[in-house]
Amino acid sequence: MKKFIYTIFITVAVFVNAKAQQFKGLPVSKNRLTLDITKPGGVQLIVGSASLQGLGAGGAGAQLVTYLKDAITLPVTLSKYDVKKNYDNVELSWVTVSERNFSHFEVLRSTDGKTFNNLSNVYPKSGSNNEAKSYSFTDFNPIAGVNYYKLKMIDLDGSVKESKILFVNYNLNSHNLVVYKENETLRVKYNSLIQESGEIEVFSIAGVKMYSQNKQFIAGDNSFIIPLSLSNSVLIVTVSSLTKKESVKIVY
């Protein structure tokens, strides 16, 4: 976080008669140093006596006033950010409610949640700075396994803000069983060669059974929702029937 400290020297009388609120939105100039106090509620005033000579500030007994101001202006404000696993791609969507002096988004992807690569730049739409705007990006080449995504939001002056990290588990080796997180649930997609009965089970990485339910599979694509209220967990999802058994691992 960048911080700038602006210091001016004024007499006691000047300071006592001044009110911070009256400076709202106005630049204040004292002794050749300009202060831009645009957010009085966010400006900290530190006042202390100092014996200062030769500074053109009233000499001994002058008040030292330090304006400590966070110099961060967020380039964009997100109201929504989602990642959706489709059959053959991953779709990112997000909505902004404020864009000021904003340059562009970088859509980043990682396979380990640590090292991210830029997939594409997305540039702001036209319209009012305070107007809600919807964006989307489709990753047509997800990596086999867990894909982590985040947005980097870059201001015109180079300031950067990053979104939270979202992820999906994309099993490219076999589309017979695909599992991914959907809101606070697990979405299980299973392709069965024939109509048959079977079972869906969810285990912790330690082998503890978290969920078990008998299911009736149709020939072709099947889709199920598993309600699980967990976080930061590694799960094993298994679908078994009389003809086959498949499992995938997912970070939930």
Q: Looking at per-residue confidence, does 193 or 64 come out higher?
A: 193
- Starting at the edge strand found earlier in the chain, the sheet holding 209-217 runs 209-217, 196-204, 234-241, 245-251
At 144, the amino acid letter reads: A
Judged on CB neighbours under 10 Å (0-12, 13-18, 19+), 188 is: buried
Residues 13-34 pLDDT 10s: 333 334 443 434 434 433 333 3
Q: What is the pLDDT of residues 102-115, one digit of tens each?
A: 999 999 999 888 99
CATH fold of 174-251 reads Immunoglobulin-like (2.60.40)
- Average pLDDT on 146-161 reads 91
Q: Which of 97, 93, 96, 92 is nearest to 109 (CA)?
A: 92
Q: In the prediction, which pLDDT does 223 show?
A: 92
Among the residue ranges 4-8, 61-65, 219-223, the one predicted with the least confidence is 61-65
pLDDT digits (tens, 9 = 90+) for 63-98: 334 333 333 445 678 889 999 888 678 999 999 988
- For the chain, which residues make up each domain, given as ranges? 3-70, 76-169, 174-251
Cα–Cα distance measured from residue 39 to residue 24, given in angstroms and rounded to the nearest whole number: 7
CATH of domain 76-169: 2.60.40.10
76-169 matches 174-251 in fold: yes
Question: What average pLDDT score do residues 141-170 get?
Answer: 89
Indicate yes or no: pTM above 0.85. Answer: no
